[in-house]
Amino acid sequence: MIIGARTIKTGLAVALTVFLVNILEMKLDVETSNFAAMAAIMAIVGMRPSIKSSLDNFKNRVIATIIGSLVAIILALTLGLNALYLGLGSIAIILICLKLGLTESISFALITLVAVGTYYDFSIMQIAYRVSGMLIGLTVSTGLNIIFMPPDYTQDLKAKINDLRIKFENLFEDAANDILREEKIEKEVIKYNRQIIRDELDDTRDVYALLAEDVLPKNKKMIKHYRRSINAIQSNLERLTAMHISIVYMSSSSQYSKIRQNLYKYLEYLLLLHRQIYNYIALNTDYQQVENNIDTEEIRKEIVELIKVDDDESVFEFYNVYFEATRINEKLDQLICEFKLEEDRRDGK
């Protein structure tokens, strides 16, 4: 079992918070029930997956904590702090936080209300002690997240891109093989696999967002490259879906076997090219230029000439396959330029 950085930081945040709160209690010569416990809870829930989210939410959580303590004070001085009024206070806090745009910090305000409002010795000094303890918990968790083992999702993103491209390449290979197969893949199978890839795209973008929002110095240009490599798979997935529809409807007559063979070789080349590009992006392997023996212009001319002399509507599907394949090729060429793969290869990098 691998212990993650966030797990370690959460444990340290709890330990350091309790330690600091205990020191504060000794300095102030106070003993309050659950003083350290509530501060530790704040440290636990305050731990965020990225540095930027920690910083962005720190201010809002401090404000929410103050709101919770103020509501507790108002209830104590007016209605009282029984179960019913604490429930009404919770509703008021939720409405206030929603009005102020502090949606993600509502729990902090409610924890403060409960921590302050359920303590038997209610006084301004006791409120100050408990609120300061919770603020210590928030500060410790935020500070540790920035200073100690700051999160870096680069490798996680590469792993997600690799999983994504493998699923795409498997689907691409199945679709390409249908050009030569009599029995085509069922439409529902393609649809199912396409949805899996779309879900994988969403997961990959979530990891990308965590990497992109961090404020520590990183190779921002490379991060943008990763985004474009993800977008390229999404775009090519749509091209592949349209291409496979044409493959299913294209004529299987033996007189078109040569064109089918040429289109298959074209798609085979694109698949190899795709693998080389994404091996470099996701696995850090050296980019190996794929030998291109495909005369795409000759394929296009052959299909156009066939369309001119053949009235069979299924002949148009050959051109659709060629057209979508060419669009995929253009996306791959853009990635080669984006990552300067040909330049790096010439320079021996």
Predicted pLDDT of residue 329: 95
pLDDT string in tens for the chain (349-residue length): 556 667 787 888 888 888 887 777 776 665 555 567 777 877 787 776 666 666 667 888 888 888 998 898 888 888 888 889 889 999 999 999 999 988 888 888 888 888 777 765 666 777 777 778 888 888 888 787 777 666 677 888 999 999 999 999 999 999 999 999 888 888 888 899 999 999 999 999 988 888 877 655 566 778 888 999 999 999 999 999 999 999 998 888 888 899 999 999 999 999 999 999 999 999 989 898 888 888 999 999 999 988 888 777 778 999 999 999 999 999 999 999 988 887 644 444 4
Do the Cβ atoms of 244 and 190 come closer than 8 Å?
yes
Pick the CATH number of 154-346 from 2.60.40, 1.20.58, 3.30.2450, 3.10.350: 1.20.58
Do the Cβ atoms of 322 and 300 come closer than 8 Å?
yes
**Using CB atoms within 10 A of its CB, is residue 338 exposed (0-12), middle (13-18) or buried (19+)?**
middle
Question: Is 0.85 topped by the overall pTM?
Answer: no
CA distance 310 to 322: 17
Alpha helices (H) in the chain, listed in sequence order = 5-28, 35-46, 51-77, 83-99, 106-117, 124-147, 154-177, 187-213, 220-249, 257-283, 296-309, 316-338, 341-346
Q: What is the DSSP letter of 3?
A: P
Helix (H, G, I), strand (E, B) or coil at 343: helix
Tokens (6 digits) for 157: 């993103």
Predicted pLDDT of residue 127: 73
Predicted pLDDT of residue 119: 66
Domain regions of the chain by residue span = 5-147, 154-346
Predicted pLDDT of residue 346: 42
Predicted pLDDT of residue 128: 75
Nearest alpha carbon to residue 54 among 114, 142, 119, 164: 142
Tokens (6 digits) for 283: 């696995």
CA distance 251 to 316: 9
Nearest alpha carbon to residue 161 among 197, 210, 193, 215: 197
